Amino acid sequence: MEEHPETTLSELGWTGHSRHQVGGNAESEALQRDADNLAEGDQGLPRISSDSENDARQSFQQRNQPSEGNPRPVSPVSAIDMPSEQDVTADASNPEGSTSNSSNRDSAPVEDGPERSKARAAIQKRTSLHGSQPVHTRIGIYTLVLAVLSIVFIIAALGFVGWLWFGNRSSTTWRRIMLDDFSKQAVTISAIVLRTALGILAGIATAMVASIALERRGVPFQDVAQVSIARFSNSGPDAFWMSILFRKTFIELPLRILLLLLLLTTLASQFTSTILLSDLGPGTVISPSITSTNTSGFSYANEEWDGNSEQVQNPNSPFFASPNYWTTDPTVFPAFAEYSEAGYSSDKTVDTGLTLRAFLPFGDASARQQVRDFQGMAPVFDTRVVCTRPQFTSLKADYMSRSWLRGNISAEASLPGLAATQPVVEFECPLVDNLTYLNGSARDPGNYWTICPMNASVGGLLPVLDPSNNSSLKLSFSLNAAGGAQAKVFTSEGQWSVADGGWAVDIGRAYLIHNATTDGGIPASNATTNWTSIPAEAPWANVNFQTLTDILPGDLNDLGPDCIPSDCWKTKFLISLCYDALPMPVTYEHIQEFKVTASASASRVEPFLKYDLKKRLFPTDSIRTQLGATSSPGSSDSRGILSLTSAQEILAEVDKLRNYWSGNLPEGTPNTPTDPWNVFNRTTYPWITPMAFYSLTNLAMCLGCNTDPSSDYPQASTILSTLFSDTIAATNSPALALQAVLTSVLRMAYYAFLPTFDAQSEVTVTSFSAAQVPLRTRGFWAVFGITTGHFVLCVMALIGFIAFTQVSSLKNAWQTVAHVTENTETMQILKTVGDKDDGEVAKGIEADENLRTRRFKVSAKVSSPEECD
């Protein structure tokens, strides 16, 4: 510590007293204290020695008798003139905000003798030591540690919240927080940390602002105690909110604005939890993968026959006991996995392209809707459909055959993947009777469609999932009945096989689709007909047909333009020839279950039925979207289905089996059969397509139409009919319409018998689980803005503290008291406080003209009497 010579008041040489004398010799006593404390060290302000104190007092009393006109020197804690609350127009040229008062100004000149100069130098030395401490010392280690820790916690809390909002959502830690429903707690804890840290910084910034106010311009006397103590302890900017808002002379305007902004950001920080929680909402989180045993399909049973064990189909097989799903309305529309490729197109052909669809082996809708990743056994079908414009070689209507259209057609045989060798084939297809007056239907008769399954000889598409055939083989059709699995299902119409005595193969089916109706007329049997077929937009042919309603002698050819309606029956309709790739297991049993991998990037909501009372029908928009039966099918996620990611592996497995296929299946090949029908050595057998197609007949895909009561021409179910008609109306594609219906029928059958499956296999499922997750970012950015703004204001307070203060120390209780008690006026106020509250003290100060118009200021620089009056 630096040594300073002891100084007495007798060495000061000061005479006179202030024109604002308060309390007798209080001015002299203040000067005496100033002299007593000249010898201060680095750690305090030590008093002068007691031996020289009495001599100093005697010298002071002899040389400095009170007289008017000799102002006292100003200590580092001084009172200055200030404008009153009523007079807010202070002299802008006075940096301390003082106002001139010429009537009270001392007129006697002040002599600056040697003793007075010595006292001034001593006091300036003392005050220079006040400001000699570095900034970090005046801020204090405790405050610095609090500030640094607060900043660290703010960064940590914001970083953690930012990670919750924008982090990798596949992270195990992130998912665990959300799945354990800890998101709200995490946000609340982070908000508490933010509020606490911001509050600490607000308190430190308020202490700095209080220091700046005391040393820059000073504060009114009524605020001295609160502002001075605020440098040691305060509750934050809210401690001064009334003075900030309602008292213009409280502190300088920039400091008032700074405190006001600090107050606003501090208050806003109290709502960080509410603001952040507003971003949370119900969402989905990827749960950990779960491996379990599940059932998918029917397994073979062993049957003893003549002492030999033979694989037979499970007694639970639903073939003949099953309902007719073509006339059954689906009530649920389970999501499925799909892989598709672009199809072949031409001016007369529409092709859906290769479309593999797999059904998930879960009966619970909520489980299916939440599946993200699936690995396990599941049925896979090739639902490709191709439709082309047919060419007619003959056409007639035969009422005796239940109003059927009959004739011969030829089709394009060069379609990729099509097995069709017959140049011309016969067909017969019923007509719908459009009797709308019977049921009040308001639907357009043009939406009355008929699906007619064709004879097997017409051909069909080669199934890509069947290893027994491929597009390089030359196939031929035989009317001879084939043996094998067909005996369990139905009597065959014939069999396709590899040419030159090769093995038999199973292919898809052919269909005629048209919207011809009788329009209430009855065509005569074997009557003369006129017809034309005009190419329409692919894949349709536009047919104009005319025939007689009765046969009269001499009128056999009366089909001219003048033919009256009572004699002529006319109709106009669209017709197309379509093929599917769903084989019937006539010769052998195909592979139905494959090891499937499917995935999705979002959970889904399966479509549901809702009847439209106004239109008196079931809207099918959501169902068609799921099935891709729209003019512009979207992505898998937008359709609410999964992607069949293992499609290439499935096709590769089939290709591998195809490479080993031969008509005789010699011993030693990898696919040597153990059963005449189970040629691929599978643990499950196909049952869906045999059951579904066993009941397939001509179908009237219409609502409110009148069909023949015969069982071979039923009306399809309401939902399937609406789905089919709406798809053609929306896309003009019978291929998409037929594909949607085929998928719906197979899906209904699969889920109807799912509870009875007995073939067990291991499945691994990753699901989306419901959780409260950040869905929006507005709350986060609001909190980030509040925090950033608050931090900037605190930095501004720090810069002002460094630039405009020299004496004040933070968290220094004794200094806050000493600066108040060093001043004569404040000492007088303290003596009169007693048991008065702050309001009463403030009123007393306002009533005192001397105190009301002056400010209290802490300064490290001694002003001359002329400078600080």
Reported as a single tens digit per residue, the pLDDT across 536-576 is 888 999 988 777 666 554 444 455 666 666 667 777 889 99
- Report residue 488 as tokens: 């369990």
Q: What is the enclosing helix (H) or strand (E) of 693?
A: helix 688-694
- Report residue 248 as tokens: 């213009």
| Burial status of residue 396 (CB atoms within 10 A of its CB: 0-12, 13-18, 19 or more) | middle
Q: What gap in Å lies between CA 391 and CA 745, rounded to an integer?
A: 30
Q: What is the pLDDT of residue 605?
A: 93
Q: What is the pLDDT of residue 494?
A: 74
Nearest to 206 by CA among 253, 241, 154: 241
Q: What is the pLDDT of residue 119?
A: 52
Q: What gap in Å lies between CA 216 and CA 655, rounded to an integer?
A: 90
Say whether 642 sits in a helix, a strand or coil: strand
CB atoms within 10 A of CB 394: 12
- Report residue 358 as tokens: 């797999």
Q: What is the pLDDT of residue 777?
A: 94
Task: Quote the pTM value.
Answer: 0.69
Answer whether 689's CB lies under 8 Å from 466's CB.
Answer: no
Q: What is the enclosing helix (H) or strand (E) of 695?
A: none
In Å, how far from its chain's centre is CA 80?
A: 62
Q: What is the pLDDT of residue 54?
A: 43
Say whether 137 sits in a helix, a strand or coil: helix
Q: Which residue has the tokens 């020695």?
A: 49
* Residue ranges of the chain whose pLDDT lies below 50: 1-78, 81-111, 123, 126-131, 436-443, 445, 482-492, 553-557, 663-674, 862-869
User: Would you say the C-alpha torsion 262, 266, 267, 272 has a positive or negative sign?
Assistant: positive
Q: What is the pLDDT of residue 867?
A: 34
Q: What gap in Å lies between CA 476 and CA 334, rounded to an integer?
A: 39
Q: How many CA atoms lie within 13 A of 46 on its CB side?
A: 15
Q: What is the pLDDT of residue 214?
A: 86
Q: What is the pLDDT of residue 809?
A: 86
Q: What gap in Å lies between CA 173 and CA 179, rounded to an integer?
A: 10
Burial profile 714-725: b = 16 or more Cβ within 10 angstroms, e = fewer: bbbbbbbbbbbb
